[in-house]
Amino acid sequence: MTSALFRIICLLLIFSFSAFSVAANKPLSSSKKKPEQPSDYEKGITAYKKDDFATALMLWFPLAEKGDSAAQFSIGKMYLDQKGQRKDASEAAEWIIKAAKQNHVKAQTLIGQMYLKGVGVKRNFNTSANWFLKAARNKDKQAQYILGKLYYFGDGVPRSPGKAAYWYKKAAKQDHTEAQNKLALMYLQGDGVKKKPKKAKKWFEKAASSNNTHAQINLAKLYLDSDIVKKDKKKAFNWYKKAAKQDSAIAQNQLGEMLQNGVGTSKNIKEAITWYKKSAKQEHPPAHYNLGRAYVHGYSLKKDFHKGVEHFLKAAEKGHGKAQMDLGVAYYTGRGVAPNSAIAYAWFYVAAAANIKDARKTKNTLYKKLTSEDKKTAVNLATEYKRKYFIRPK
């Protein structure tokens, strides 16, 4: 009985092995699905990425005419960006509007921007705001951010800081860094929302950590001179440096000033000059003023009154009050420029309007020394300069 049972078990094992072999040798292709062929729209995307714009347009155009919103948007972008055919903003707007009307979110945001700037369509803030609102409700963070700005300034919609903060917050929660920065400023000032300094700091930090230069500068200001956080000049310096390395002219100049004065770091005038030059290349008036002073006083540079005056002039013509004052001194003393008391008076006059220390007193003293003819010239120049170069202090 035992041997009979043994033979049955062996037969079962042989059968099982044979069945497994057959199954193992079956072709696998029958269980695999054939790869799906790319659609004409996807083929167009591939062609577009290869800069084959003619093929992309050929593939997308029939789809767009049949009402495909993605194709309509893509064709609109091609006309707008001048990819593969003539640039035609009006034609672009027609296709983008068709896509936007079909709830294509990116098209809604883009046509909102086109109405905002008057590109391909007549400029219309109200229509622009309506498209942004549609896209914002569809959770497009850029549309939410722009809508926030429109509500803040009252462009195309009734001005409402509260609604501005609402939309900034929506975009901020989707990691829109500029919305985070704007929201932080509103919390800091209690503008449209209840004043909450800690929340302001949190949003500044979030945006700054994502390399938003405006937030980095604002955070640096908090650490430099604020009661919201414990003052920390070294942290302020480091945040300014991060923004400066991202080519922010404001941060570059501020970094230069901190290096020149040894604030939050060791004093290093040579390095300060390097940052001033970077900022001045971007025509930042305070940087031109600081460079002008460096040349006039020989701070890590060879004294050169002529170059100093050149920088003062660039800053003064953009409304920098202290540069206007120093330019007046240069024209009065004849250092770096031919002496001219009438021009000196005009610059003192503009500097006085900007409430620069001693400018009014100096202007009045100089006026008394002028001849009757020079006084007429000086007053006429002062009126002209104030019209051209005066910027009211904030």
pLDDT digits (tens, 9 = 90+) for 157-173: 999 999 999 999 999 99
Domain 283-394 sits in CATH at 1.25.40.10
Which pLDDT band holds residue 24 (cuts at 50, 70, 90)?
very low
80 contacts: CB under 8 Å, gap ≥ 6: 87, 89, 92, 96, 110, 119, 120
Which pLDDT band holds residue 35 (cuts at 50, 70, 90)?
confident
55 within 8 A of 84, measured Cβ to Cβ: no
Structure letter (DSSP) for residue 228 = S
Distance of CA 93 to the CA centre of its chain: 25
Q: What are 201-231's pLDDT values in tens digits? A: 999 999 999 999 999 999 999 999 888 888 9
Domain boundaries, the chain: 283-394
| Interatomic CA distance for residues 205 and 241, integer angstroms | 15
300 contacts: CB under 8 Å, gap ≥ 6: 269, 270, 272, 273, 294
| Interatomic CA distance for residues 52 and 273, integer angstroms | 48
Query: Which range among 80-94, 110-124, 149-163, 289-303 shows the weakest confidence by mean pLDDT?
Result: 80-94
Q: Where are the alpha helices (DSSP H) in 102-196?
A: 105-117, 125-137, 141-153, 161-172, 177-189
What is the percent of the chain with per-residue pLDDT over 90, rounded to a whole number? 84
**What's the whole-number mean pLDDT along residues 321-328?**
98
**What's the whole-number mean pLDDT along residues 21-48?**
67
117 within 8 A of 147, measured Cβ to Cβ: no
- In this model, does residue 6 exceed pLDDT 80? no
Give residue 16's pLDDT: 41
Q: Is 26 buried (19+), middle (13-18) or exposed (0-12) by CB count in 10 A?
A: exposed
**What's the whole-number mean pLDDT along residues 284-300?**
97
